[in-house]
Amino acid sequence: MSKMMTSIRTTSGEPGKLEIVNQLLLPHTTEWIEINSVDEAYDAIKSMKIRGAPAIASLAALSIASHLSRAISQTPPPEFLSSSATLRAHLQPLLDHLLTSRPTAVNLGVAIKRLTKTLEVGGDDQSVSELALELIKEANAINDEDVGRNWQMSRLGAEWLVEQTKGKVASGNLNVMTVCNTGSLATSGYGTALGLVTYLFETKSLKKAYYTQSAPYHQGSRLTSLELKTLGIPSVMICDTMVGSLFQNVEIHAVVVGADRVARNGDTANKVGTYNAAVLAARHRIPFIVVAPVSTIDLDIPDGSHIPIEHRPPLEACLARGALYPPTPNKDQAVVQITPDLDLAEGVYNPSFDVTPAELISAVVTEKGVAVKGEGAGGFDLSGVV
Ligand code: MRU
């Protein structure tokens, strides 16, 4: 795990110091930006300087911890630390605001719910300093527990895939394809679907990882490429339009994807283009595996039609970002318009996610286990993996 990238860092000894890597500038520029307030965390999530369902939940939680750590170290303390009631009144609107930054990934909602519960649980008897420390502890836990569970689900998913392909694929020869970026940059470390790919590589089961560019934000070509390169994992980038061609011409043994929200029946919202890949995988009888933490499974909704799908600003689909080409010595960044001036109100469709129906999914893997569909069933029984 030594070469693992990271998207968020805190500094022990500097109360409240919180920084993220600006993912809009990767892979050419590594710029760490300070997050000095809950509002700045909200803006970083909304503008996609940080993205990926677990990473945005972590940043939201850590921005609350940072806000409280700074407040505690202030003399005199701010007014909102005068009692647990004033702290509650101050924090609840901040939590509600963070929740609206991106609507599809349920992990953010789960993190906010955990902090809201911590805020409420002690009642009026809890001292304000006790309450603040409890909140900081819970926020740090939300971030810290992610790496371990990622490794666990990656191992479970990889072992399951190796078992499924035993006797059919020579050892060390698995080719897998993934969509978007689900690695260390999208989580607190190791990754979900990309973690599974990493685990296959580390256990010498992987031949090659294929990944789609994932337009319009290019999480594949900008971020997954960088992570795979850094980890030394043999990999091949394809354009989003080439999935069918890949499946016709290269033996792919599994498609592995992350998730922003999985409904009770297994319907899964993930980066737009995931559904296309699932339809093609079904046509080619390639196992389609969703890898996500328990916090991504939303048992409150029966199926994918209840998942709120974020639509990004239409202009974003008309732009591409990267370094100038031919390369300049400083790899100068540019955002270029790749379309004529379009009617941004009516002429561009830009959903950030799509929903893959459970019938196209072979397995859902969490840190608790692997759920596979029963014979002939349309949906999943996820009760064993939540
Ligand atoms: O818009 P993004 O980049 O936040 O979308 C990310 C994805 O769709 C990921 O697959 C998902 O959040 C899982 S990340 C472990």
- The answer to whether the beta carbons of residues 157 and 370 sit under 8 Å apart is yes
Residue 376: what pLDDT? Answer: 54
Nearest Cα neighbor of 47 from 30, 59, 65 is 59
265 pLDDT more than 70 = yes
Summarised one tens digit per residue, pLDDT across range 27-53 is 999 999 999 999 999 999 999 999 999
| pLDDT tens digits along 49-92 | 999 999 999 999 999 999 999 999 999 999 999 999 999 999 99
Q: Mean of the pLDDT values across residues 170-183?
A: 98
* Residue environment code for 151-178, b if the CB has 16+ CB neighbours within 10 A, otherwise e: bbbbbbbbbbbbebbeeebeeeebbbbb
Return the pLDDT at 310. 98
Q: How far is it, in rounded angstroms, from Cα 70 to Cα 150?
A: 30
Q: Phi, psi (5° rounding) for residue 292?
A: -160, 150
Whether the CB-CB separation of 144 and 177 falls below 8 Å is answered with no
Residues touching ligand 1 (Cβ under 6 Å) are: 51-54, 105, 180, 182, 186-187, 192, 219, 258-260, 270-271, 352
Is residue 181 predicted with pLDDT exceeding 60?
yes
Is 8-146 assigned to CATH 3.40.50.2300? no
**CA–CA gap between residue 274 and residue 334 (Å, rounded):** 28
Listed residue (292, 253, 290, 291) closest to 275, CA to CA: 290
pLDDT of residue 369: 97
Pick the residue whose CA is nearest to atom 15 on ligand 1.
182
Percent of the chain at pLDDT > 90 equals 93
Task: Tell me the H-state helices in 73-216.
Answer: 84-99, 106-121, 128-165, 193-202
Cα of 199 vs its chain's centroid, Å: 18
pLDDT-derived band of residue 2, with 50, 70 and 90 as boundaries?
Answer: low
Which amino acid, 304?
A: G
Residue 377 clears pLDDT 60, i.e. is over it = no
Res 312: pLDDT: 98
Nearest to 370 by CA among 117, 196, 132, 131: 196
The answer to whether the pTM exceeds 0.95 is yes
For the question of an ipTM over 0.90, the answer is yes
**pLDDT for position 125:** 73
At 298-337, the pLDDT tens digits run 999 999 999 999 999 999 999 999 999 999 999 999 999 9
Ligand 1 mutation pick, 260, 276, 312, 321, max ligand atoms within 8 A of CB: 260
pLDDT > 60? residue 1? no
pLDDT value of residue 353: 98
- Atom 6 (ligand 1): residue with closest C-alpha? 52
- The residue ranges of every structural domain in the chain are 8-146, 155-372
The stretch 7-12 carries a mean pLDDT of 90
pLDDT class for 14, splitting at 50, 70, 90? confident
H or E stretch at 281: helix 274-283
- Report how far residue 303's alpha carbon sits from residue 356's, in angstroms, rounded to the nearest whole number: 11
Q: Is 260 a catalytic residue?
A: yes
* Distance of CA 74 from the midpoint of ligand 1 (Å): 37
* pLDDT recorded at residue 375: 56
pLDDT tens, position by position, 215-234: 999 999 999 999 999 999 99
Report which of 331, 258, 283, 289 is spatially closest to residue 176, judged by C-alpha positions. 289
Q: Distance between CA 191 and CA 18 in Å, rounded?
A: 21
Report the separation in Å between the CA atom of 259 and the middle of ligand 1, taken as the mean of its atom positions.
7
The β-bridge partners of 322 are 334
Q: Are 35 and 50 in contact (CB under 8 A)?
A: no
Q: Is the pLDDT of residue 289 over 80?
A: yes
Catalytic: which of 39, 96, 124, 260?
A: 260
Give me the CATH code for the 155-372 domain, please: 3.40.50.10470
CA dist list (Å): 149 to 205, 339, 361, 367, 369: 21, 42, 22, 5, 11
> CA 304, CA 294: separation in Å to the nearest integer?
17
For residues 270 and 179, the answer to whether their CB atoms sit within 8 Å is yes
> What's the pLDDT score for residue 11?
84
